[in-house]
């Protein structure tokens, strides 16, 4: 039996163990998965623990997706490009970092047949998830990306991507508005990263939060007849891709669809990014 786990700072209500158990059951894999919460001061020790405990692999969630990189032996070229890791494989003591969030995020759009080419997009937040979102959008041929940050001066604009502050958000509009921040996540379910008037200036809203399944941000969008999507597809997609890497196999799309439908029906009490 193989042993896997999740690294993060606060994981008491994580959905990942149940999700991975479902994946293993549907694919006939003999494996176990548990959470490993720890404070940032123990990150290096935790990474070494992957070798000591002979874990075959771990997932990585906030706030360690970027911070874990210096402690790994190697990065997959894609994770190197993104400079964010959410999956680590233990290859006989060599720890290799991967990123499966990109594939998971893409599911939100492919499952709904939403097209991004030549669209304008506003991203809320600049964390590790925002990097994944930006990369995916660029690869899909968007026309313009505006990223809203609390410290836009820290970032350099590109021909496609422009940074701005939350003070300027009332002047923004576009085809898609994507929230990559934790604002509105359980238990702070009455919070929203932007006002209702801002939401009305966009056609489609995406929130990477999956708990609650309809955040206030998405609820306001639904009220104004906007297309909306939460982060459940991304959560399931990245988990399935991680298992494919660890187990060297390919999982049918049918299983992904079944998992998404199963967890849509569940009430969850936390969110991972």
Give dist(CA 64, CA 151) in Å, integer: 20
Catalytic residue among 34, 65, 67, 131: 65
Is 81 known to be catalytic?
A: no
What residue has token string 């970032």? 155
Contact status, residue 210 vs residue 181, Cβ threshold 8 Å: no
Give dist(CA 73, CA 21) in Å, integer: 28
Strand order in the sheet with 227-229: 161-165, 144-149, 120-124, 174-179, 202-207, 227-229
- Cis before 63? omega within 30: yes
Please tell me whether residue 35 adopts helix, strand or coil conformation: strand
Give dist(CA 237, CA 228) in Å, integer: 18
Strands 144-149 and 161-165, by their bridges, are: parallel
Query: DSSP letters along 8-31, please?
Result: ES--TT-SHHHHHHHHHHHHT--E
Give dist(CA 111, CA 64) in Å, integer: 29
Q: Catalytic residues, which ones?
A: 65
């Amino acid at each position: 039996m193989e042993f896997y786990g999740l690294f993060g700072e606060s994981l008491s209500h994580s959905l990942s163990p149940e999700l991975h158990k479902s994946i293993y059951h549907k694919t006939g894999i003999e494996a176990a998965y548990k959470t490993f919460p720890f404070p940032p001061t123990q990150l290096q020790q935790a990474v070494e623990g992957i070798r000591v405990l002979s874990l075959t692999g771990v997932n990585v969630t906030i706030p360690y997706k970027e911070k874990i990189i210096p402690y790994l032996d190697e990065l997959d070229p894609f994770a190197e490009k993104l400079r964010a890791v959410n999956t680590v494989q233990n290859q006989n003591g060599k720890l290799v970092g991967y990123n499966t969030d990109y594939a998971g995020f893409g599911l939100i759009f492919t499952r709904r047949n939403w097209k991004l080419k030549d669209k304008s997009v506003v991203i809320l937040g600049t964390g590790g998830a925002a990097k994944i979102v930006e990369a995916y959008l660029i690869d899909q041929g968007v026309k313009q990306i505006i990223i809203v940050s609390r410290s836009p001066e820290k970032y350099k604009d590109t021909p496609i991507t422009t940074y701005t502050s939350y003070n300027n958000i009332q002047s923004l509009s576009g085809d898609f508005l994507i929230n990559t921040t934790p604002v509105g996540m359980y238990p702070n379910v009455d919070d929203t990263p932007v006002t209702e008037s801002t939401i009305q200036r966009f056609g489609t809203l995406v929130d990477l939060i999956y708990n609650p399944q309809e955040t206030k941000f998405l609820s306001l969008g639904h009220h104004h007849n906007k297309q909306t999507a939460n982060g459940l597809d991304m959560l399931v997609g990245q988990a399935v891709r991680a298992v494919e890497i660890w187990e060297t196999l390919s999982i049918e799309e049918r299983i992904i669809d079944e998992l998404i439908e199963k967890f849509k029906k569940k009430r969850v009490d936390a969110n991972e990014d």
